[in-house]
Amino acid sequence: MIFKRKIFPGQLFISIFTILYPANYPNFAPLITIENSKGAMKYEPGDKIIVLLTNEEGKVVEIMNEKMVMIEIKGVRFPAYTDQIDFPYFNMFSQKKVVEKKKIYVDNLKPEKGVAKAKADDGMFISFVPVFDKDVFDDDVVEKLKIYLINQTSAAYSFNYNLFFNGESNFQLKNTIEPQHQFYLHDVNFEDLSDNPRFDVEFSLTNPDKKKAPYFETSLKLKAKQLFKKIEEIKLKNEPTFSYPLFDVYPDKIDEEKVDLSKLGNAGFRMYDASRVRENLAPARTVVDLHIEKLTDSWKHLSNFEILTIQLKALEKFYDLAVSHYQPSLIIIHGVGTGKLKDEIHEILKTKKEVKSFVNQYHPSYGYGATEIFFGY
């Protein structure tokens, strides 16, 4: 006798052939088949599944594409390929029940204590999960990337996350991440990652430790070529994600070295009152021209590298003077040219904590050959 049940029209059919009298049907064997009609997805949100590698049971929470789903196991969500999971029904019916045997101990022998397994303390990572879609040629293309923080340490952290495109802030998020947990940050369109993305994260311990640093800043810059290479690698390895380390161990606090000022005075050094230090500084400028002919008269015999070195030293000098005098802004004239000097200046400004923002836009006096810096004290 054959029983056939239709669950949803045009979707998933489950046909179960049951042999009631095996002696009358010697040429048949029990068979369970699952058919996928009209290319419909094998799984749907809410379906119970089992991970083939670990035999852990969970459920499907999101369909990412034809080959990947987001699953949840014991409250933790992560992506998985459909060929890495299966329905648990066969395992439920075929798994043998394990009968626990009673242990008999010698009266004078104490049982050994179990050794607790320590969790891996590998550090903090930022992880990228590509979400694929089909193009007009039915090829897999990356539509977007899901971005996660993964905390594989034994401590909880507060974090301040900031994503920049071409030096401008695009997305910010403040929150906390628990030990041995992952935190979903946001999605990024794949096409946007060609705009020089920079991922800045500032961490601090949720429970402060006097021996540890009050905060730790880290930054990750990615180029489009690197992303393409990583995505091709995980496709070849059949892996769903790729990650970059942000730190291995949270740094210790650095003790500031105390200087005995009386010994410096006795050694002949001139001492100044800190409240009047600006009186002894050279005057600052609001506009600095870094064209080499403005910095030195003897420059025609210099190489391009030597010229660039002189220009960058001048930048540091007048930048420090502007900060010491608490100037609100500073204009650096670098010219247009090949753009090498401008790029070097912008990379330096990204590392300066006093810089609130900077912009290279058309100026009525300097055209596009100047960058204006705005300070935030």
* Residue 226: per-residue pLDDT: 85
* Residue 95: per-residue pLDDT: 57
Task: Record the pTM.
Answer: 0.43
Q: How far apart are CA 355 and CA 28, in angstroms?
A: 78
Q: How far apart are CA 308 and CA 21, in angstroms?
A: 91
Of 175, 178, 147, 146, nearest in space to 160 by CA: 175
* Residue 38: per-residue pLDDT: 41
The DSSP symbol for 82 reads G
* Residue 55: per-residue pLDDT: 84
* Residue 261: per-residue pLDDT: 66
Task: List, in sequence order, every residue forming a beta bridge with 77; answer none if it has no partner.
Answer: 72
* Residue 50: per-residue pLDDT: 87
| Strand 329-333 relative to strand 287-289, pairing | parallel
Contact 282, 268 (CB under 8 A): no
Question: 123-247 domain in CATH 3.40.50.970?
Answer: no
Contact 14, 6 (CB under 8 A): no
Q: Where are the domains of the chain?
A: 2-94, 123-247, 273-375
Architecture of domain 273-375: 2-Layer Sandwich (3.30)
* Residue 108: per-residue pLDDT: 45
Ranges of residues in the chain whose predicted pLDDT is under 70:
1-41, 89-120, 256-280
* Residue 259: per-residue pLDDT: 64
